[in-house]
Amino acid sequence: MCVKVTHDKKCETCGKTISSVVTERPCYKAREKDGYFGCCGIIDRIDVSDPGECDECEEKRKAKEA
């Protein structure tokens, strides 16, 4: 089973997506058949998100603290 990981970094304050990275990892059968970029057709999707702070919200927070 091949794996597709979507890693999003979202702002804790406004919910805006700061960055998004998609990584695909082929399984052993797919690599054996088509090389590293192969796919067996069965994909397990994993969604990961990390909290962060966008530039706009960071500037607003720093202005309030000052």
Inter-residue long-range contacts of 14-22, CB under 8 Å, 24+ positions, other chains counted: 14/54, 14/56, 14/57, 16/54, 18/52, 18/53, 18/54
Q: Which domain holds residue 33?
A: 2-65
Number of domains in the chain: 1
For 6-59, write each residue's pLDDT tens digit: 999 999 989 898 999 999 898 888 888 887 778 888 889 999 988 889 999 999
CATH code, domain carrying 48: 3.30.1490
In sequence order, the β-bridge partners of residue 17 are 10
Q: What pLDDT sits at residue 39? A: 84
